[in-house]
Structure 1
Amino acid sequence: MALTSARIRALNAVYETGSFSAAAKRLEISQPSVAQLVRDLERDFSVQLFDRRGNGLNPTALCQRLYAVTASMQERESEATRILMQHRELKEGQLRIGLGNSMPGMTYIGAFQRAYPGVQVQVEMGSWSRILNAVVDQRVDVAILPDVPDDGRFRRQVCLNQGVVALVHPNHALARRQAVSCRELANHHLIFRSAGSSTQRVVDKAFRSVDLAPRPTMILDTRDGVFEAVANNLGIGFMWEQGSSRQDQIRKLNVLEMADKRPEYVFALQNRSSVMVNLFFDVLKIS
């Protein structure tokens, strides 16, 4: 005489669907198996759980009382299974992350790995448009970028606000300045990013605001390339102010027309929630 998990699942499925066939479809077992589980339960305890009337099954008062108790038991069983599956995923899983800049993303990745050391992190880096497309195309699970569209496709959470700064070599004529204007910058060799860069969009807008369209002496497709070009004193580059943790002598100058702070977002597809993605968002809240 036993009230097994299989019998509870069969009883509840029949109660909720109203028939053995519908319950069997839900449980993905045969209809005779569902009927046998319910009959065995009735036989072992000498009770009647359903009134069989034609093709219908009506739960008895006893069945209703039993369902009220066993439904919560089944929910706890499902929760226990979820916890075990999550634990396994956290030991063996992988999280794919897209970064437009190495920072602040690497900070959050570090916090995530300290919390969940068993998870392998795979990082894709690239321009704003490349990383946005990586999320849309599901090449990455979650990403960090500024200017993420608020169009319903994405779950977004602000991680910081920052602006774009000018990068100059320590021997550059402007190196001792704290702030400069676009008109001043236009008189020097400029290093721009290629199309698709969120940094370059800010830079272009700033120069347009003072009716300037300077011709850069160099165009590079990566932020690291810009940093190296500035380090070799080839011109003035631009970068998000917290886009790198490098501690060399390159100076970061505020640009008057780029002073507005913009939000940087952690984001993922709205309809692609997962344990890993949820945990990454949770780490962001406490970092």
Structure 2
Amino acid sequence: MNLFQLRAFDAVSREGSFTRAAKRLSISQPAVTGHVKALEERYDLILFRRTARSAELTPQGEALAALTRPLFGLVEQAEDLLLANRALVTGRIEVAADSPHVVMPLLARLRARHPGITVGLSLGNAAETYEALLAERASIGVVTEAARRDELHMEELAVSHVCAVLPRDHALATGAPIDLAALDRQSMVLREPTSVTRRTFDRACRARGIEPAVLMELDSREAVIEAAAAGIGIGIVSSLECGEDGRIRAVPITGADLSNRHAIVCLARRRSLRLIRAVLDLAVEGQPIGERP
């Protein structure tokens, strides 16, 4: 069995791309392709379904990846042990997050403490963040309303609250908190139903029998803010996502539990690795990120 071929396969399975796997291994993309092709030909298997942009594991590939991920995870731990006495000067860590507003202050502290560390950041929804962690394409995840899982180590990072976003000339934009009941029958522009902020808002409305008039469902917080600024309807966003915009006012909503908890997550078996541990330590020290839990 050729370990170079297995390692190339493992990198492609984690990255979902031959190009990104080559960067991960610091070798050429043709070399990665050659190793994987040789492995497939030697054992008469098809391990990936190749498309123009990605490489998806076949069922046989999934079965092999379930073995190679812990195998090369142990190699990574051995290397980490051997480097334990060296300063954390260089390295690269992949981070996945479902919101830039929670993760960016953490990455700024990482940059200040360890300027030689390179960060790869991928942004998506919570499901995509979990998938990146479990496939080991990311070492650290920052997730809203994180679900507890046995294979994951999790630490609470921050708490945010749902806010209403209104044009500055709106009757409710006085600066005083808005009771949730005041939004009954109001014209509103909201995120898609799978959004965590949207789910929190919908749950609170159902609990109190409040029925907003949803005019638009939008796929980004930026679109919600733009629609609210244009006067189309009242928007709903997280208190950590409002930013500075002279056209709008973000107003807290009271009268229900409208809070969301944000957590930093990694695979439990990898939490002791130096670089992952360094990020976890930074997450719970120094200046708070948003509102502390």
**Superposed CA offset, 1:229-261 (max 9, x none):** 223222211122123443545212221244454
The answer for the alignment partner of 1:276 in structure 2 is 275
CA deviations on 1:150-172 (whole Å, 9 max, x unpaired) are: 23232111122222111112122
Match of 1:228 in 2: 226
State the alpha-carbon separation in 2 of the partners of residues 276 and 245 from structure 1: 31
Matched, 1:285 2:284: yes
Q: Is the 8 A contact 1:168 1:252 kept in 2?
A: yes
The verdict on how the C-alpha distance between 1:224 and 1:258 changes in structure 2, with shifts beyond 3 A counting, is farther
CA contact (8 A) 1:165 1:258 kept: no
TM-score, normalisation: structure 1 = 0.64
- How much has 1:210 moved relative to structure 2? 1.6
Give the 4+ runs in structure 1 shifted more than 6 A: none
Distance 1:163 1:152 in 2: 28
Residue ranges of structure 1 left out of the alignment (5+ in a row): 1-77
The structure with the larger Rg is 1
In angstroms, what is the RMSD of aligned CA positions? 2.3
Partner of 2:252: 254
1:83 maps onto 2:85 in alignment: yes
Distance 1:283 1:225, change over 3 A: same
Deviations 1:166-216 (A, max 9, x none): 111212221114122333213322111113211011011011012234341
Query: For 2:163 and 2:244, how far apart are their aligned partners in 1?
Result: 15
Contact 2:187/2:234 (8 A) holds in 1? yes
> For residues 110 and 272 of structure 1, do their structure 2 counterparts lie closer, same or farther at Cα, with a shift above 3 Å needed?
same
- The yes-or-no answer on 1:142 pairing with 2:144 is no
Match of 2:96, SS?
A: strand
Please state whether the residue corresponding to 1:217 is helix, strand or coil. Answer: strand
- TM-fit CA distance, 1:279: 0.8
Determine the C-alpha separation between the residues in 2 that align with 1:210 and 1:81: 56
C-alpha contact (below 8 Å) 2:152/2:266 kept by paired residues: yes
TM-score by length of 2: 0.63
Q: Which moved more, 1:192-201 or 1:176-185?
A: 176-185
User: Secondary structure of the equivalent of 2:187?
Assistant: coil
Would you say the 8 A contact 1:98–1:144 is kept in 2?
Answer: yes
Identity of aligned residues (%): 19
Structure 2 unaligned spans of 5+? 1-79, 287-293
